[in-house]
Amino acid sequence: MNRSEVWQMSLDSPAADQTTEGATRLVVILSSDALAVLPLRIIVPLTPWKEDFSSAPWIVRVPPVLNSGLEQVMAADALQVRSVSTARLRRKVGDLPQRLTGEIVEAVAGIIQP
C-alpha cells in the first residue's frame, strides 16, 4: 500500500466482518512510502467528476489514465483528506502517475496553508 495507488476502501469499520462485501469507495494513497510500516495511510477519496467541480481549487480532475484502474473521470476532493486503517483498504485497483498524485498533494497543501 504505497503512494499513488488507487484502492477500494471499505466504508464499514475495520472491525467489521471482512467476509462480507459492504459499501466501498475508491481512494488514492498520499502518504509517503517511508510510513508504510504503520497500519495507517493518508488518503483522499475519489468521486465521479462533475463539471461543477472545475471551479473548486481543492478538487483535482483525475482521468482514467493507463494502469489507474479507473473506468471514468474522477474527482479527488482534498477537503476530505484523512488517515485510515490499512484494514479498511480491501483491493488495489491501480496506480496514478506521480504527476497526478502531485497535483492532489498540492491541493491538500493549498487548503492547509495560512
Q: Residue 59: what residue type?
A: I
- List per-residue pLDDT tens for the chain, 114 residues long: 999 999 999 987 655 455 556 799 999 999 988 877 889 999 999 999 999 999 999 999 999 999 999 999 999 999 999 999 999 999 999 999 999 999 999 999 999 987
**Cell triple for residue 10?**
471499505
Query: Which among 52, 42, 34, 53 has a CA at the least distance from the CA of 80?
Result: 42
> Does domain 5-112 fall into CATH 2.30.30.110?
yes
Query: Which among 92, 102, 98, 31 has a CA at the least distance from the CA of 60?
Result: 102
User: What pTM was computed for the model?
Assistant: 0.88
